[in-house]
Amino acid sequence: MADMPGRPARPGWHNAGFTQDAAAMNQEDRFISLEIKLAQQEDLLDELNKTIYRQERRIDGLEAMVAKLADHVRTLRDAGQSPLNERPPHY
């Protein structure tokens, strides 16, 4: 339906009330918003990478500790001393 003189314009994509400057400003705002979100995502990714690195170092240390404990238990077992079957000194 064409707009008729005296009737208000019907809203729609073709008549949204935006000027070229407002549309350009809207695009610029969207671009700035995307840049901000990208920067936040990069910061988050950097923090996650640091966390993973710290966890990996901690896991490596724990694995080394478990290996040493396993060797110690094997050594005690081979020597005939089983720490699992020892009675506490107060018995």
**pTM of this prediction?**
0.54
HSE (side-chain half, CA atoms, 13 Å) at 43: 6
Q: Please enumerate in sequence order all residues whose Cβ is within 8 A of that of 15, keeping only pairs 6 or more positions apart, or say none.
A: 3, 9
- The pLDDT of residue 77 is 81
Task: Please report the pLDDT score of residue 1 as a whole number.
Answer: 47
Give dist(CA 22, CA 19) in Å, integer. 5
Q: In tens digits, what is the pLDDT along the chain, a chain of 91 residues?
A: 445 555 555 555 555 555 667 677 788 899 999 999 999 999 999 999 999 999 999 999 999 999 999 999 888 888 776 656 667 777 6
Report the candidate in 84, 58, 85, 55 with the shortest Cα–Cα distance to residue 69.
84
